[in-house]
């Protein structure tokens, strides 16, 4: 079965090509069948391959499938080659399965859109590029998929290009992520120059032999890779593009935020874990960046009124948890949270899309309310997604993955009580903003009437993802409940196990009880603030200090204003001053001199043979004189 893994990548690209080449000959139903079916076939192959990989692991717990030689320049001959191990199996399964359900949802959600064929073509290309990224055997092919998802995000965020605001959001996403992509590209060059290979497995084997822990080369290589990961995964300080990415259709938001683009940075760090282990200072940066990001983004989520922007800041915060886990060496915990997050965040975005469509395009959560009776299926599935996001104990997948991260933040050799405290405060804030959404959207009095309800193509993905948001966490459970370590055992085939300093039953019990109480406390705070005593929120925001904090939180703590003042405005000013482009002055001067010289020489073309003969004679005399003198 493993020899068919190329089909996992081929099917989405085939769907993209068919949709591009068929023009307007396909009906709307045909477009949705091709767009959804191609990713569905990839998901089926991925599931069958994953089962085969788990039941009958290949030799060395990894399988490589070379397809063809990409290019051959000197001694550099990178292959288009696919690689499958435990890490890529999990990534492929999540990307393909979640991508399929998002596209199935899109078949109904986007049915009346004018650019339906273009939408499905971009989505298929998006999924295919992400699959290339996570299955690439070398960093050059990985970078191709990396840039592919960046291109597709630009196209999809600006899908409704008639609105200039959408184009601005797409440009912002493209430009900000270019910063990280440039760092990543320089990191690839550095690795190739010093290790003479871009094969991922070759780098993992060669780096520990050639570099010592803490060496300068390892430091810079890890730092450049981190720069790429920070840009793609919207972590500090390059997180500003993601909230604006909500300009695209809701299925795009679900795909970008749940299973594809923003998790690419998490995958890159996990895949290149050896480089980060050789640069412990940079790995510490990963943990600190994750902790700071999860707190700041959670604080911003509380202040948003747009339902999709709440979820966007939530994504930034939850990826911060993944970075925190990677930074403390809990590689499996980061991938575990990636998996559960993909399920419940896709569910929340799709549920938000149902609410927005049902209310005629309304995004303001303060203009919603009372929808639990009008939209019962959406309510219960959204409630499950919010509960998993908030990590309600015992019953949700999000609890088990987040508990594992908090456990690692305390007990890991690279962890600390400060990192655990940051993660715990973030868990409280997550429960607060997640159920603020639930209470304001689905409880209270109805404000906007419901004029549209979902059909089966939308209901099936919601119910399925709700089930996964509940059940997927039981593959890894705290030892105080049950010794279930299926996920970490599987991931240990390709990722190192975490080094722990202080572990005992008392520590386990304390950390478990703390995690089990913090999230419900956030839920209770949301109920008290927005249901029982909502006047306190109003009173706080009307005070000068409260208004300032609320404004800073709503504006993402001023990062956009800072970057606008430090980078954007000076650049625009310099561009206006340099409208003529001073670099071109030299070349314009060369062109002017050449044209003048040409005009001068043109005067010698008189058409008089005697003058030509005289010129030849004079030239001969001058040449002969030079020979005699020299």
Question: Residue range 147-160: average pLDDT?
Answer: 93
Tokens 């409880």, residue located: 443
Q: What is the pTM of this model?
A: 0.91
- Name the pLDDT band for 248 (thresholds 50, 70, 90): confident
State residue 327's pLDDT score.
96
> Does residue 29 surpass a pLDDT of 80?
yes
| Mean confidence (pLDDT) of the chain | 91
Average pLDDT over residues 30-40: 94
Q: What is the pLDDT of residue 54?
A: 92
C-alpha span between 333 and 331 (Å, rounded): 5
In this structure, the number of other CB atoms found within 10 A of the CB of residue 532 comes to 11
Smallest CA-to-CA distance from 41 within 2, 85, 4, 78 is with 4
* Higher pLDDT pick, 415 / 427: 427
pLDDT at 323: 97
Contacts of 485 (CB under 8 A, 6+ apart): 476, 477
pLDDT at 534: 66
Enter the tokens of residue 292. 């700071």
pLDDT digits (tens, 9 = 90+) for 366-385: 999 889 988 999 999 999 99
Q: What is the pLDDT of residue 629?
A: 78
Look at residue 605 and tell me whether its pLDDT is greater than 80: no
Q: Looking at residue 107, what is its pLDDT?
A: 93
| Confidence class for position 574, pLDDT limits 50, 70, 90 | confident
pLDDT, residue 533, reads: 63
- d(CA 395, CA 385) in angstroms, rounded, equals 12
pLDDT band, very low/low/confident/very high, at 259 (cuts 50, 70, 90): low
**At residue 603, does pLDDT exceed 80?**
no
Query: What is the band of 274 on the pLDDT scale with cuts at 50, 70, 90?
Result: very high
pLDDT at position 502 is 63
Paired strand residues for 82: 65, 136
Instruction: Please tell me the predicted confidence (pLDDT) of residue 221.
Output: 96
Q: Bigger pLDDT: 111 or 275?
A: 275
- Give the model confidence (pLDDT) of 530-558 as tens digits: 887 667 777 777 788 888 888 899 889 99
How would residue 435 be classed by pLDDT, with cut points 50, 70 and 90? Answer: very high
Higher-scoring residue by pLDDT: 261, 138: 138
pLDDT of 22 above 90: no
| Start-to-end CA span in the chain (Å) | 82
Q: Give the least confident one: 242-256, 338-352, 460-474.
A: 242-256
Given a cut of 90, whether residue 601 has pLDDT beyond it is no
The H-or-E segment that residue 66 falls in is: strand 63-69
* Mean pLDDT, range 611-627, rounded to an integer: 83
Residue 350: predicted pLDDT: 95
What is the per-residue pLDDT for 365? 93
Say whether pLDDT at 579 is over 90.
no
User: Quick one: average pLDDT of 259-276?
Assistant: 92
In degrees, to the nearest 5, what angle opens at C-alpha 10 toward C-alphas 5 and 16? Answer: 155
Of residues 599 and 349, more confidence is placed in 349
Better pLDDT: 277 or 111: 277
Say how far apart CA 438 and CA 379 lie, in whole Å. 8
Length of the chain: 630
pLDDT in tens, 174-194: 999 999 999 999 999 999 999
Summarised one tens digit per residue, pLDDT across range 473-527 is 999 998 888 888 999 999 999 999 877 776 778 888 888 999 999 999 999 999 9
From CA 37, how far away is CA 40, in angstroms rounded?
5
DSSP letter, residue 474: G
Q: What is the pLDDT of residue 91?
A: 96
Q: How confident is the model at residue 74 (pLDDT cuts 50, 70, 90)?
A: confident
* Confidence tier at 446 by pLDDT (50, 70, 90): confident
Share of the chain above pLDDT 70, in %: 99
In sign, the C-alpha dihedral spanning 136, 139, 141, 142 is positive
Residue 404 has pLDDT above 90, yes or no: yes
What pLDDT, on the 0 to 100 scale, is given for residue 207?
94
**Percent of all residues in the chain with a pLDDT value above 90, rounded to a whole number:** 70
Residue 626 has pLDDT above 90, yes or no: no
């Amino acid at each position: 079965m493993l020899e068919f893994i190329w089909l996992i990548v081929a099917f989405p690209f085939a769907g993209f090509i068919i949709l591009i080449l068929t023009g307007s000959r396909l009906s709307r139903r045909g477009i949705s069948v091709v767009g959804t079916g191609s990713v569905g076939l990839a998901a089926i192959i991925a599931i069958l391959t994953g089962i085969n990989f788990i039941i009958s692991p290949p030799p060395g717990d990894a399988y490589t499938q070379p397809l063809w030689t990409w290019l051959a320049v000197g001694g550099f001959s990178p292959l288009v080659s696919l690689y499958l191990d435990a890490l890529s199996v999990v990534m492929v399964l999540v990307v393909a399965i979640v991508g399929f359900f998002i596209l199935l949802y899109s078949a109904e959600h986007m049915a009346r859109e004018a650019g339906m064929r273009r939408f499905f073509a971009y989505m298929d290309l998006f999924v295919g590029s992400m699959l290339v990224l996570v299955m690439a055997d070398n960093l050059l092919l990985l970078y191709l998929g990396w840039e592919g998802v960046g291109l597709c995000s630009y196209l999809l965020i600006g899908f409704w290009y008639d609105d200039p605001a959408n184009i601005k959001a797409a440009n912002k996403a493209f430009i900000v992520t270019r910063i990280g992509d440039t760092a990543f590209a320089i990191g690839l060059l550095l690795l190739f120059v010093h290790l003479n290979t871009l094969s991922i497995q070759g780098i993992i084997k060669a780096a520990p032999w050639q570099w010592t822990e803490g060496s300068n080369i390892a430091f810079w290589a890890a730092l450049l890779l981190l720069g790429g990961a920070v840009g793609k995964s919207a972590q500090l300080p390059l997180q500003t593009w993601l909230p604006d990415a909500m300009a695209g259709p809701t299925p795009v938001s679900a795909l970008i935020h749940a299973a594809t683009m923003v998790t690419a940075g998490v995958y890159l760090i996990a895949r290149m874990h050896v480089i980060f282990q050789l640069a412990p200072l940079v790995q510490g940066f990963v943990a600190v960046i994750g902790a700071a990001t999860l707190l700041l983004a959670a604080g911003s989520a509380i202040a948003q009124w747009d339902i999709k922007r709440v979820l966007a800041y939530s994504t930034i915060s939850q990826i911060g948890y993944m970075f925190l886990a990677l930074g403390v060496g809990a590689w499996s915990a980061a991938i575990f949270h990636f998996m559960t997050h993909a399920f419940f965040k896709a569910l929340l975005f799709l549920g938000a899309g149902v609410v927005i469509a049902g209310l005629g395009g309304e995004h303001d959560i303060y203009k919603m309310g009372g929808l639990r009776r009008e939209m019962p299926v959406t309510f219960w599935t959204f409630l499950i997604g919010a509960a998993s996001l908030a990590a309600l104990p015992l019953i949700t997948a999000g609890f088990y993955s987040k508990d594992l991260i908090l456990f690692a933040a305390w007990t890991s050799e690279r962890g600390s009580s400060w990192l655990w405290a940051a993660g715990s405060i973030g868990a409280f804030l997550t429960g607060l903003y997640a159920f603020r959404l639930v209470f304001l959207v689905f409880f209270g009095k109805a404000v906007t009437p419901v004029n549209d309800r979902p059909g089966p193509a939308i209901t099936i993905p919601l119910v399925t993802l709700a089930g996964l948001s509940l059940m997927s966490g039981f593959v890894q459970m705290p030892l105080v409940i049950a010794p279930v370590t299926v996920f970490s055992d599987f991931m240990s085939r390709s990722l190192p196990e975490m080094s722990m300093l202080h572990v005992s039953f008392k520590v386990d019990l304390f950390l478990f009880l703390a995690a089990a109480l913090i999230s419900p406390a956030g839920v209770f705070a949301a109920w008290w603030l927005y249901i029982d005593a909502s006047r306190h929120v109003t009173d706080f925001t009307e005070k000068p200090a409260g208004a300032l904090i609320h404004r800073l939180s709503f504006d993402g703590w001023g990062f956009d204003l800072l970057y606008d003042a430090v980078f954007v405005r000076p650049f625009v000013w310099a561009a206006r001053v340099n409208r003529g482009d001073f670099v071109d002055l030299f070349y314009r001067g060369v062109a002017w001199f050449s044209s003048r010289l040409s005009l001068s020489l043109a005067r010698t073309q008189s058409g008089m043979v005697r003058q030509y003969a005289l010129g030849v004679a004079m030239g001969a005399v001058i040449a002969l004189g030079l020979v005699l003198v020299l």
